[in-house]
């Protein structure tokens, strides 16, 4: 499982956390797919596939179409930062990362499996910060119910060096753009990967997509109805 994020510490209203869940047997195949996407865009294999640096719609939608048939699941957590009153800024990431990992652990448990978690890390993140986050996720806390029995390990990796973390960035940033701009074109990136977004017994909201605090999502994002139809 790979984790990416969008919006924290940048003054954005919405902070997005995204996980992609990939079967171990498909890991290399999907990584090769990202390399093929880079090659088609005349990028070097070591270049970072960064969604927000790709400006043209035709290039973005081609990436999405190339991913439609691939074997992975997506989980998004969307946090309205303007509605967060009690948490300090330094606590936002660990607190809401637990929401994401909690849902991933539900998915993995439901499939009677175990997982290794790779979290995209920034250069400014110290080993102490990463260790603190890992400790918060892997130990009992009042604010989460993560099934740690299904997690083998949590590690932190540089996004620039891992193709599947770059895929997590694509999924995260495209969803963040849909939330931010809320137009039909932006939501199209999300619709096309509809089958990849985790749903539990037909329910996407609160499983593959979780809003915090809970919102009347149809009022805020009426185009989201296309994911549920």
Whole-angstrom CA distances from 203 to 113, 199, 209, 225, 229 are 21, 5, 9, 12, 11
All domains in the chain, ordered by first residue: 2-228 (3.30.420.10)
Distance of CA 4 to the CA centre of its chain: 5
State percent of the chain over pLDDT 90. 76
Q: Note whether 9 and 79 are within 8 A (CB).
A: no
Work out the angle at residue 24's Cα, subtended by the Cα atoms of residues 23 and 30, and round it to the nearest 5 degrees. Answer: 75
Position 7 confidence tier, pLDDT thresholds 50, 70, 90: low
Peptide bond just before 213 cis, omega within 30 deg: yes
Global model pTM greater than 0.75: yes
116 in helix, strand or coil? strand
| Average pLDDT of the chain, as a whole number | 91
In this predicted structure, what is the pLDDT of residue 226?
Answer: 85
Work out the angle at residue 25's Cα, subtended by the Cα atoms of residues 165 and 169, and round it to the nearest 5 degrees. Answer: 15
Question: Averaged over 51-78, what is the pLDDT?
Answer: 96
How far apart, in whole angstroms, are the C-alpha atoms of residue 221 and residue 225? 8
Other CB atoms within 10 Å distance of the CB of residue 14: 16
Q: Is pLDDT above 80 for 28?
A: yes
Question: Averaged over 143-153, what is the pLDDT?
Answer: 94
Lowest mean pLDDT among 8-17, 142-151, 216-225: 8-17
For 87-140, the pLDDT digits (tens) are 877 788 889 999 999 999 999 999 999 999 999 986 656 788 899 999 999 998
Beta-bridge mates of residue 185: none
Question: Averaged over 180-189, what is the pLDDT?
Answer: 95
């Amino acid at each position: 499982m790979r984790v990416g994020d969008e919006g924290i510490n940048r003054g954005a209203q919405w902070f997005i956390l995204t996980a992609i869940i990939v079967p171990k047997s498909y890991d290399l195949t999907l990584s090769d797919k990202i390399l093929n996407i880079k090659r088609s865009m005349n990028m070097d294999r070591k270049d970072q596939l960064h969604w927000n640096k790709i400006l043209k719609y035709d290039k973005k939608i081609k990436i999405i179409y190339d991913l439609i048939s691939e074997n992975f699941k997506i989980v998004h957590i969307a946090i309205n930062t303007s509605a967060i009153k009690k948490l300090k800024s330094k606590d936002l990431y660990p607190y809401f990362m637990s929401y994401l990992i909690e849902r991933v652990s539900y998915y993995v448990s439901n499939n009677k499996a175990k997982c290794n978690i790779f979290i995209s890390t920034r250069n400014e993140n110290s080993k102490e910060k990463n260790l603190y986050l890992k400790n918060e996720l892997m130990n009992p806390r009042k604010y989460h119910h993560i099934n740690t029995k299904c997690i083998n390990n949590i590690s932190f990796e540089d996004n620039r060096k891992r193709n599947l973390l770059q895929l997590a960035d694509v999924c995260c940033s495209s969803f963040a753009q849909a939330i931010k701009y809320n137009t039909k074109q932006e939501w199209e990136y999300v619709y096309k990967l509809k089958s990849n977004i985790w749903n539990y017994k037909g329910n996407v909201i609160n499983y593959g997509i979780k809003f915090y605090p809970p919102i009347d999502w149809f009022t805020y994002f009426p185009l989201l109805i296309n994911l549920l139809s």
